[in-house]
Amino acid sequence: MHRIFNPGIAPPVQTSEPAWWFAFVGNQLLVRQEETIGHVPYLISLEEIGLTPVRTQFLGTLDDQPCYSAELPKDTLLPDGMSLCGLRELYGILDEDLFMLSGRAIQIVEWDRTHLYCGHCATPMTQLPHERAKRCPSCGLVNYPRLSPAIIVLVSRGEELLLARAHRFPPGMYSILAGFVEPGESLEETVVREVREEVGIEITDIRYFGSQPWPFPNSLMIGFTATYADGDITIEPQELVDAGWFHKHNLPKLPPPLSIARKLIDWFIATH
């Protein structure tokens, strides 16, 4: 059963109860890892384990327990038994709720760190008390945490689905197509363009499936399904190593279950 997360801006007045601390050095999360399980620090403050954060942000509550993000200095000496791990390494090792909160936390840490000064007039920014935003007291510019929308689409042809291998994928792994939304595009236009650019085919019957925050580094993945319409696969070599049609009963190595890519693939297998 998933725990309930309620986002928040203003931290509790009383800070005497333990909280989840999503503390980062650069883009690596502080965890205690035991075999195949990762543990996020659950403390009243990071000072309990000898750490002093550069900046912190209140995230909200997880089953009424406070949650904070924290930026640690780059020369941080790690407490005994703790290590730093990138979020990709922790995929499937952290509890799902904590992994998703880690993704939220790293984006807020990065926004907090990179928006100390106004991008227009260089004045130090002021944190707004009741929304996740910073305002320039000089020129009034307001900055919110950045999100980069991206589409991901499962293209089917009967009982086959289109899978591709990108250069960055682990050995043997295939997934469905994805790409970032460009200025002036609708999501549906992005789906058509990305499929056409990456594999050279035309699609139809585009339908919304669902969405997933994806903190690598700050994406919102919007999932779609579509049906093959016309054309032969011709891959874009700068984007892909290989692509092809795979029958639902004969699939290669796939992305992990937590990803929206895998949720789309599992849905296709179950419904076709």
Task: Give me 266's structure tokens.
Answer: 């599992």
Residue 12 reports pLDDT greater than 90:
no
pLDDT higher than threshold 90 for residue 38? no
Alpha carbon distance 27, 81 (integer Å): 19
Q: Which of 162, 269, 164 is nearest to 226 (CA)?
A: 162
Q: What is the pLDDT of residues 217-256, one digit of tens each?
A: 889 999 999 999 999 999 999 999 999 999 999 999 999 8
What SS3 class is residue 66? strand
Quick one: what percent of the chain has pLDDT higher than 90? 86
Across the range 27-50, mean pLDDT stands at 90
pLDDT at position 35 is 66
Q: What is the largest CA-CA distance in the chain?
A: 63
Dump the DSSP string for 101-132: HHHHHHHHHHHHHHTSB-TTT-PBPEE-SSSS
- The band of 96, judged by pLDDT with boundaries at 50, 70 and 90, is confident
pLDDT score at 258: 83
The binding site for a divalent metal cation comprises 178, 194, 198, 239
Question: How far, in Å, are 72, 159, 222 from residue 180 at the CA level?
Answer: 31, 27, 10
Bind-site residues for Zn(2+) = 118, 121, 136, 139
Q: Is the per-residue pLDDT at 124 higher than 90?
A: yes
In this predicted structure, what is the pLDDT of residue 216? 81
pTM to 2 decimals?
0.85
Among residues 150, 180, 161, the alpha carbon closest in space to that of 243 is found at 161
Rounded Cα gap, residues 71 and 48, in angstroms: 16
- Residues that constitute the known binding site: 88, 118, 121, 131, 136, 139, 144, 178, 194, 198, 212-219, 239, 261
Mean pLDDT of 91-99: 87
Give the model's pLDDT for residue 15.
76
Binding residues for substrate: 88, 131, 144, 212-219, 261
| For range 64-72, the mean pLDDT | 96
In order of their start, the domains of the chain are 5-114 (3.90.79), 148-271 (3.90.79.10)
Residue 37 in this model has a pLDDT that exceeds 90:
no
What average pLDDT score do residues 140-165 get? 96
Q: Give phi and psi for 61, each to the nearest 5.
A: -130, 145
With contact defined as beta carbons under 8 Å apart, do 169 and 175 qualify? yes
